[in-house]
Amino acid sequence: MSTADRERLKELERENRELKRTSEILRKASTYFAQAELDRRPK
């Protein structure tokens, strides 16, 4: 594997970790706001 390929792989792995972390944050926020909406409705 060339140096450029290794650098590209490292960059893609970093981007993948960042996207997974962002996705997890958005999933948790979505769950939080959905629950807050349910709690807000009259019973």
CA distances, 23 to each of 11, 12, 16, 40 (Å): 18, 16, 10, 26
pTM of whole model > 0.85? no
* pLDDT digit string, tens, across residues 1-43: 899 999 999 999 999 999 999 999 999 999 999 999 988 877 6
CA distances, 11 to each of 1, 15, 22, 24, 32 (Å): 15, 6, 16, 20, 32
E strands of the chain, at which residues?
none
Q: What are phi and psi of 28, to 5 degrees?
A: -65, -40
* pLDDT digit string, tens, across residues 12-21: 999 999 999 9
